[in-house]
Structure 1
Amino acid sequence: MAEKLEDLAVQLFDAGAVRLGDIEAKVGRRTPIYFDLRVVVSHPRLMMAISRQLQALASEIPHDILCGVPYAALPFAAVMSVNSNTPMIMKRKETKLYATKKILEGVFEKEQKCLVIEDVVTSGGSLLETVTTLRSEGLQVTHAVVVLDREQGGASVLRANGVQMRSIYTMTNLVKILNDAGRISDETAEIVSDHIRECQFGYSV
């Protein structure tokens, strides 16, 4: 790959995509580290670099179509679609209440293999919501590629629901990279490690 994962991790931190502190996460629990990839849309080179890494993972998985989990993963899915000439569809947060009344936007056929793109997986809930919708529309979904696996049970939850996940980073190796680069202190790295071990999720749908 053109970009080293270590360099990319540091660039993400410097761009503000990695935030430290006592932060309330989407899942309703406090976390000492928060990964916010939404800021990457303002950094085209970073967005391209991440998309290339995701594409490298995707290239090993048979698929006909891409779908990004709304909303943070949509830019990456779009870049991957253009770069690989692979069709993309978009899942709406809610079913359209007028005209076509669709939950999925774009053109697809039943039984096509759909690869899901996600930014961060914690519990796996958001990704599973998208998987459930895609399957209900007749698509085959067995794999997902993600930027960060927070290692808090999401991968196990996804496996239990028939989805294999591949990630660019795990929280453990991301924190190690940032610690080695002097962006995160030893104390913070230990706090994050304890948090991962103590805050685990697990359920299936």
Structure 2
Amino acid sequence: MADLEELAVQLFDAGAVRLGDIEAKVGRRTPIYFDLRVIVSHPRIMMAVARHLEKLAKEINHDVLCGVPYAALPLAAVMSVNTDTPMIMKRKETKLYATKRLLEGIYYKNQKCLVVEDVVTSGGSLLETVETLRREGLVVSHAVVVLDREQGGASVLEANGVIVKSVFSLSCLVNTLYKAGRINDETVGMIVDHIKECQFGMKDNLD
């Protein structure tokens, strides 16, 4: 547990956790925002995050990895190298020339694909990737994520046949940062209220 607590503080100090009245996706506002893209500039932190994701992945039977574009791609790549597990990449849009593929890499029908994601809020981005993989004949039943914001996304994904395993839940992360003196009581209260007030379901999986 101590190494997870240390990692939480490192992520905060590196700027991967931002506080304030911040505009998130689709015009939503949040008192806490996660930008895990910054960890590409912090190799040790990125390695630590990948290692924790690998621990979760060990419990899941899979043949290939696929990171949700774009923030999770570096993490999936590190996991692939560390565990000698093949990786495939989903493009944001279909390639308009040559192979015209939406997925890059080598894969086969009925292979088990483990999806890697940075943050799950409503589950929409992850679900979009899952649906693409399934259309290509891959079997997707699990995803490993760095943070579950506990706003309904995991339930949306479970309803679509995907079990989410997370390194951090938002509640645990906030509690850790509070104990470490990085955030105060007022901020904790605002975040707890935000989790309760902003819950997503099947009709609003927009993240």
Please state which band the TM-score falls in when normalised by the shorter chain.
over 0.9
Structure 1 CA distance, aligned partners of 2:13 and 2:25?
23
Report what 1:166 is aligned to.
Answer: 165
Instruction: After superposition, give the CA deviation of every residue in 1:119-145 in whole Å (9 maximum; x if it has no partner).
Output: 000000000000000000000000000
1:74 equivalent in structure 2: 73
Q: Secondary structure at the match of 1:19?
A: strand
- Normalising to structure 2: TM-score of the pair? 0.97
> Which residue in 2 is equivalent to 1:92?
91
Partner of 1:120: 119
In structure 2, how many angstroms separate the alpha carbons of the residues matched to 1:115 and 1:30?
A: 30
Match of 2:43 in 1: 44
State how many pairs are aligned: 204
Give the C-alpha shift of residue 28 in structure 1. 2.7
Q: Which residue of 1 aligns with 2:64?
A: 65
Structure 1, unaligned runs of 5 or more: none
Partner SS, residue 10 of structure 1? helix
Aligned position for 2:198 = 199
CA distance in 2, matches of 1:24, 1:123: 16
The residue correspondences of 1:178-197 to structure 2 (distance < 5 A) are 178-197=177-196
Deviation at 1:156, TM superposition (A): 0.4
Could you give the per-residue CA deviations for residues 6-49 of structure 1, whole angstroms, max 9, x where no partner exists? 00000000000000001111243100000100000000000000
Per-residue Cα deviation, 1:127-182 (whole angstroms, up to 9, x for no partner): 00000000000000000000000000001000000000000000000000000000
Looking at structure 2, the residues matched to 125 and 37 of structure 1 have their Cα atoms a distance apart, in angstroms, of 18
**What does the per-residue CA deviation read over 1:81-113, in whole Å, with 9 as the maximum and x for residues that have no partner?**
000000000000000000000000000000000
Give the secondary structure class of the aligned counterpart of 2:27. Answer: coil
Quick one: distance in 2 between partners of 1:25 and 1:97?
A: 30
Find the counterpart in structure 1 of residue 19 from structure 2: 20
Matches of 1:21 and 1:138, distance apart in 2: 42
Aligned residue number for residue 108 of structure 1 = 107
In structure 2, C-alpha distance between the alignment counterparts of 1:132 and 1:38, rounded to whole Å: 24
CA–CA separation in structure 1 for the residues paired with 2:202 and 2:107: 30
Report the equivalent of 1:29. 28
Q: Aligned with 1:41: secondary structure?
A: helix
Task: Measure the CA separation in 1 of the matches of 2:128 and 2:25.
Answer: 15
Unaligned runs of 5+ in 2: none
